[in-house]
Chain A
Amino acid sequence: MTALPLVLTVFVACAVEAIEALTIVLASGLTREWRSTFQGMAAALVVLAAIVGVLGPTITLLPLTALRLVVGALLAIFGLQWLRKAILRAAGYKALHDEASAYLREVAAARAAPEVSKRGVSDWYAFTLSFKGVLLEGLEVVFIVITFGDSQRNLGAAVVGAAIAVVVVAVTGIMVRAPLAKVPENAMKFAVGIMLTSFGTFWGAEGAGVAWPGNDAALLVLVPVVALVSLGYAAWLRRAHRLSAAAPQSQAAWSETGGVTG
């Protein structure tokens, strides 16, 4: 299998998380202080790089079958979680992730917090806000980079995909100086959920001992099938949601007319 699907999946997953981290970094930097914000961001990136540097090569020491069984199970569970949320959002059962309102919430909290200098950092709040934001969003990326990279025995390509995404989002954020609210984040999350579930299912089954028809080429069928089923679920739930929203209205209209239709 070529490295392209690996790089693309990691790129999209990482871009989504980087956009969410950027919202927090911008809220901290523009409202509080850039120096402490950058210190927090740099500290988090060092921790994330250390996790990839230590765990990435260590996990490759496991036999490939065992690795794919564990990684496949984790990715399938993780991917189904992403898909579940994305489908509920697409169907209207869950609010869409909105970077603009997330930014406003962070700004309001940042303005209210007192300025405290601690451990050589001039604004401790800006440091911790930026550190936590980048670390928590980055952990999901680290998980995807390590699992995808190690299962494909190509950790370098996964790191490249993640690094390109971080650079693209950071440069865009610096140029725009605002949260990237116009990026179709929910559609991207849907796509990542499909890829994680497909690869997780593929590797998990392989780790359990099955031989896929067509070997790696089975992914060319599995990914579209997972996409079609997920889109089908979203369409089915959207319809059900619309019908359940319309039902009380028609019931109210029926009561207003005294049960008489015109």
Chain B
Amino acid sequence: MIRALKSFWAFWYDFVIGDDWQVAAFVVVALAVTALLTHAAGVNAWWLLPLAAFAALAWSLRRATSRKP
């Protein structure tokens, strides 16, 4: 049962999060900050999520290509 649950979790983790969990974390944090800026500070922060996505991608690519073989 535990093994089945573990493989179920591993499948969905790999399916949605993939090779780099930090990209997912970046997106979630950026969305939270966007919501905060928009609702609490009244700033229409439409630019934040695209910038965060580009930064997350660059960070992830850099980490992937700088690993030793």
Contact = CB atoms under 8 A, between A and B. Distances in A.
> By DSSP majority rule, is chain A's interface helix, strand, loop, or mixed?
helix
A180 interface: no
A186 interface: no
Interface residues of A, number: 40
Chain B interface SS verdict (over half): helix
A128 interface: no
A7 interface: no
Contact of A233 (B23, B48, B61): B61
Chain B: interface residue count, which band? 20 to 34
A114 interface: no
Contacts of A84: 18-20, 23, 57, 60-61, 64
A205 interface: yes
A139 B46 CA distance: 31
A1 to B, nearest CB: 17
A73 B16 CA distance: 10
Interface of B: 15-20, 23-24, 27-28, 31-32, 34-35, 38-39, 44-46, 48-50, 53-54, 56-58, 60-61, 64-65
